Amino acid sequence: MDPARPEFVPDASATREEMESLQHEVAAAAIWDDAFAFDPEAVSTRSERTLDDTGRRTREPPLVAGVDQAFLDDRAVSVVVVRRGDAVVERAHAVTALEIPYIPGLLAFREGGPILAAVADLSCEPDLVVFDGSGRIHYRQAGLATHIGATLDVPSVGVAKGLLCGTPEDDLAERPAGWRTPIRADSEVENADPGTVLGHALQSRQYDSRPIINPVFVSPGHRVGVGTATDLVERLCDGYKLPEPTRLADAYADEVKAESAAAPEGTDESGS
């Protein structure tokens, strides 16, 4: 799978001004309404939900991909795991040299290239991609999920463990599983009317008592509206705080990282 919008591919050697300028272009081109072909109701981590009362399959579950990364000194291990229902259909990875450090707001320029390298090896085209990081919840509304989603022109959502910017409508403390509240644009968010709903804080899981789990922050990447983005992520959570696509990608990234740890450079046996 290759970039549909090559001009959006993040360039780590660009100046900060050029990076922010590109983010504004990406945000202007991003689609934050439901504009995908699959049936959102068919998205699931289990195959039973795609069966009707008589047990017959009623619709083919969409291909959902999870993207995550692990790091090894100055190298990034990027992986993509694609599933159809609960079956892993394809996995791809890439080990590349990191060019710039982590800078809040510019994450796509550090991890975007490595991710695109892994996605390039994918033979299938996912219906939805779940990224570990923000999408529209970003200073210029162009977080990792939005930037890479728009570059590939694939429906995407961002799931972050922490809130980058924006203001939660309600207090996030100790909420029950299933609870959600809007994250609205404030003065820190450019080109957005204050109050615009950028995403949601979603309490994907909670214990009856302690320890207390923090919510995840879901936002549209590309071709998905705010409400649907959160609905989809909720459907993809299976008893854990993080959605299943992210958890699988996380585990695979750890595997590849362990294998890459022994190899000095690009000693890639599996031919990613």
Strands 197-202 and 87-97: unpaired
CA distance 51 to 60: 10
Angle, in degrees to the nearest 10, between helices 107-119 and 144-152: 40
Shortest spacing between CB 141 and DNA, in angstroms: 10
**Total binding residues toward DNA, as defined by CB under 7 A:** 25
Residues 193-212 that bind DNA (CB under 7 A): none
Backbone angles phi, psi at 19, to 5 degrees: -65, -50
Smallest gap from residue 170 Cβ to DNA (A): 17
Spatial separation of the C-alpha atoms in residues 154 and 222, rounded to whole Å: 7
**How far apart are alpha carbons 173 and 210 in whole angstroms?**
12
Distance (Å) of CA 175 to CA 159, 204, 206 = 18, 10, 8
Candidates 8-16, 119-127, 163-171, 193-201; binding stretch for DNA (CB under 7 A) = 163-171
182 binds DNA (CB under 7 A): no
The response to whether 132 counts as a known ligand-binding position is yes
Task: Say whether residue 160 binds DNA (CB under 7 A).
Answer: yes
Residue 131 to residue 133: CA distance in whole angstroms: 6
Torsion of CA 175, 176, 179, 184, to 10 degrees: 10
Using CB under 7 A as the binding rule, the residues of this chain from 86 to 105 that contact DNA are: 102, 104-105
Binding status of residue 128 toward DNA by CB under 7 A: no
- Nearest approach in angstroms of CB 188 to DNA is 8
Would you say 62 or 232 has its CB closer to DNA? 232
**DSSP code for 32:** -
Smallest gap from Cβ 133 to DNA, in A, equals 3
Q: What's the min distance (Å) between Cβ of 200 and DNA?
A: 15
- Give first-to-last CA distance, the chain, whole Å: 14
106 is a contact residue toward DNA (CB under 7 A): yes
71 near DNA (CB under 7 A):
yes
Of 29-37, 41-49, 160-168, 170-178, which segment contacts DNA by CB under 7 A? 160-168
**243 contact partners, CB below 8 Å, separation of at least 6:** 66, 130, 159, 204, 233, 236, 237
**Is residue 149 a contact residue for DNA (CB under 7 A)?**
no
- Which CB, 82 or 106, lies closer to DNA? 106
* Nearest-angstrom CA–CA distance, 201 and 170: 9
Q: Determine if 239 is a binding residue for DNA (CB under 7 A).
A: no
List contacts with DNA (CB under 7 A). 68-71, 102, 104-108, 132-134, 138, 143-145, 158, 160-165, 257
